[in-house]
Amino acid sequence: MQIDKNLDSAARKRLVALFDDGAYTEINSLSMEKDCLTSVVTAYGYVNGSLVYAYSQDKTVNSGAVGTVHAQKISKLYSLAAKTGRPVVGIHDSNGAFIDGTVDSLNAYGEMIGTAASVSGVVPQISVIAGVCAGSAVMLACSADFVIMTKDSELFVAPNGNGTAEAAMKTGTASVVCDDDISAIETVKELLRLIPENNLTSVPVYEYDDNPYSAGNKLSDIISNITDADSVTELYEGFGKASYTALATVSGSTVGIAATNKTEDRLTADDSSKIARFVRTCDAFGIPVITIVDTEGFDAEEESAGSVRNMTMLAGTYAEATTVKITLVSGKAYGPVFVALASKGTNSDLTFAWESAVISPLNPLAAVEFLWHDRLAGAENTAQKRNELAAEYISEYATAEKAAYRNGVDEIIAAEQTRAKIAEALEILSGKRVSGLPKKHNNFPL
């Protein structure tokens, strides 16, 4: 009977890398399965000085195969996390379940997924895919708030699927893809530094340095001007090409940043899904959301690909979120995108707009066709005349000042005031409390 622990296994080395000073305490260290120690190490220790629970699958034992006792150990960890309000980190590296013709492996995965679901939104959960994560295990791993993959890891239900980290990034399954185990663990530590320990604690606060002010109006300039130096961790980088999501700090306090202008493209179904998922995560743990709006809207050509459904999901996510919500309209905000991301009904506690912002129910060119078609008639150069009328329409109806007159925005600010105004807004809204109607959850499309 094998009872020796492989202290040099990759599973244990990953735990050493995760916990402060490499120190951790095992739980159920002598649990046996199939005449040997179980193929998972469950433990607790400190990360960044705070208590964290973690499990790490050990592929040197039965190829990391998951059985009943394996599942019980992980479920016990989730139970302890729920009782103490502490995060859980799961490090996945297993070829799958014990296959013995019985239903035991199905029950084992069901138990783990059930316990993980019971604490979802209560304590942070981070999955690290450090090797193979296959079959039913993907449902457990991907139920976490964040999924970190190494570039050579695999995540698939069926072996003939495309289970690469690159594919997982493109579909929005992976939050971050890292080069190796060490960089993946460092990303986990950074996320644990930024997010609260549970849904009842306040966001962390740290000492900080300001970034030097940049006069540019690119998204990178805006992000730099708002956030503290070296504080930004981008998430879902390869999913949704027009949108940007990241955790960062402003004046030392954690915030989530969602922006629509990573590229000049309109928002697609993927962009809507990406931002909605991110905002939902922030809301679960009371992380304030700063939304930067500069887009001509949603991609109408994608409606048949689920864009309308995902637009609705996005608007519903913002409307239901009770965390602090601050919006900056830095450029264009046309039609439904303003409704979903910046309007008082669905999103913002406070909406700021730069002096140059354009806020309109329609693209100004479309507005000209709809409102002033008669003025286009007979023009020698229709395109030139349309552009002239669009400029006139903007000055008449769609400036930030016009929106402020009608309470569409709360304040018009200069670009150089952005950081100070947002920091001040975060401070005054820090005591925000919202009580909604009694219900289990909304029923917007997912």
**Confidence (pLDDT) at 184:** 98
User: Which three-class secondary structure string do you get for the chain?
Assistant: CECCCCCCCHHHHHHHHHCHHHCEEEECCCCEECCEECCEEEEEEEECCEEEEEEEECCCCHHHCECHHHHHHHHHHHHHHHHHCCCEEEEEEECCECCCCCCHHHHHHHHHHHHHHHCCCCCCEEEEEEEEEECCHHHHHCCCCEEEEECCCEEECCCCCCCEHHHHHHCCCCCEEECCHHHHHHHHHHHHHHCCCCCCCCCCECCCCECCCCCCCCHHHHHHHHCECCCCEEECCCCCCCCEEEEEEECCEEEEEEECCCCCCCECHHHHHHHHHHHHHHHHCCCCEEEEEEECCECHHHHHHCHHHHHHHHHHHHHHCCCCEEEEEEEEEECHHHHHHCCCCCCCCEEEEECCCEEECCCHHHHHHHHCHHHHCCCCCHHHHHHHHHHHHHHHHHEHHHHHHCCCCCEEECHHHHHHHHHHHHHHCCCCCCCCCCCCCCCCCC
Output the pTM of the full model: 0.94
pLDDT tens digit sequence for 222-274: 999 999 999 999 999 999 999 999 999 999 999 999 999 999 999 999 999 99
**Confidence (pLDDT) at 305:** 55
**Confidence (pLDDT) at 444:** 83
Low pLDDT (below 50) residues in the chain: 1-2
